[in-house]
Amino acid sequence: MVPLVLLAVGLPFLIVLVTTPVVRAWARRTGFVDSPNETHKAHTVPVSYGGGIPITVAIVGPIFAGCLLVRSLASTAAPEWLPAVARTHLPGMASRVPEMLGIAACAAVLHVVGLIDDRRRLGAGVKFAFQLAAALVTSWGLGVRAIEALPAAMSIGVTVLWIMLITNAFNFLDNMDGLSAGVAAIAALIFAVTAVRGGQIFVPMLALVIAGSLLGFLIYNFSPASIFMGDAGSLVIGYLLSVVTILTTFYDPTRSVTPMGVVVPIIVFAVPLYDVTSVVIRRLRAGANPFHGDRRHFSHRLVRAGLSPRGAVLTIYLATAATGLPAIVLPRLDWTGATLVLVQCGCVVFLIAILEDSRAGARPEAKRE
């Protein structure tokens, strides 16, 4: 298992590490940069766009290569050099190759849409349309569905809403150097561990590939960032993480565990969901377009409360880990233990909200958003 983990993390990490400087140089040369402004851009000098290109290549490339390798190995006797755990799961992995190729194709389409939007704004309606299409293809076409115990139509509806919610949550979260990439990397690692504990191998490998690519990107994207992922990256990682949560087995009725494991994704994504919910509410209260960028995000509010941008990002990393790490053990807990983990997550989120409100009341300037 260790060699597979190292390969899943290391290969995309190296791909991003090598290709990002090339993309960054190309973006500077062609003027594909994000220029500062007074509305919601905190950087003071133009920063290269295009970070979503190496991220997507480092994720989609290994997915296609892995699918081809699995299909090839499944058609013959498994070689001795293949780890025992991989040989055991090889037939199951081979059966999911069409599904994974479809998911990779949807991610590639969202990447292209995001890349166009980074070049010239497409508008929220166009992006939502492509997100909806990708979610429908995933749930209805590929059969990747959440809560399969529900009737098919309801399961598809829930899946589409979930994919679009998480995709946009990470798109919203991409508002400060290293924020969306770091939170996504933490979430991907947690889901990888959770899936391994659930006896899976294909899903944790996908989660580790996502984590490896993001860890490599953070070398260039952490404050002060020299390149941004843009929508070409945030739409891809949001979509893929939402799919990972659907594919992960959080509850197995054959085991002596509670069905509370199904709330694991909500716990791990508690901070991104808090950000997208709070910022939409604040924009609506101010009479602003909820999909128009500004500085009302959780990270911006932390900066106004006195933290540096880097400190705000690290604080959100810590909050994500605080809510997400207990989720690893939640599927194996009894009702009492699972309820306590869920309550703990709620307490962390409510504590953040209370502290934010108290700071806003103490600092009148924080109300001017």
- Cα separation, 199 vs 325, in Å, equals 18
Q: How confident is the model at residue 66 (pLDDT cuts 50, 70, 90)?
A: confident
Residue-wise DSSP of 146-162:
S-TTS-HHHHHHHHHHH
8 Å CB contact between 216 and 20: yes
Evaluate if residue 358 carries a pLDDT over 70.
Answer: no
- 314-335 tens-digit pLDDT: 999 999 999 999 989 888 787 7
Report the range of poorest mean pLDDT among 52-56, 124-128, 147-151, 255-259. Answer: 255-259
Instruction: Give the H or E element holding residue 47.
Output: strand 47-48
Task: Please report the pLDDT score of residue 348 as a whole number.
Answer: 87
Comparing 81 with 9, the larger pLDDT belongs to 9
Comparing 176 with 85, the larger pLDDT belongs to 176
The one-letter amino acid code at 114 reads: G
pTM: 0.90
Evaluate if residue 366 carries a pLDDT over 60.
Answer: no
Task: Please report the pLDDT score of residue 342 as a whole number.
Answer: 87
- Cα separation, 127 vs 115, in Å, equals 11
Evaluate if residue 108 carries a pLDDT over 80.
Answer: yes
Q: Residue 141 has which token pair? A: 């076409």
Task: Please report the pLDDT score of residue 287 as a whole number.
Answer: 85
3-state helix, strand, coil in the chain (%, to 5): 75, 0, 25
Residue located via tokens 């090889």: 90
Q: How confident is the model at residue 83 (pLDDT cuts 50, 70, 90)?
A: low
Distance of CA 16 to CAs 49, 114, 206, Å?
14, 18, 16
Q: Residue 44 has which token pair? A: 């003071």
Q: How confident is the model at residue 367 (pLDDT cuts 50, 70, 90)?
A: very low
The CA angle 342-238-328, to the nearest 5 degrees, is 30
Residue located via tokens 């960028």: 293
Instruction: Enumerate the β-bridge partners of residue 48.
Output: 33, 227
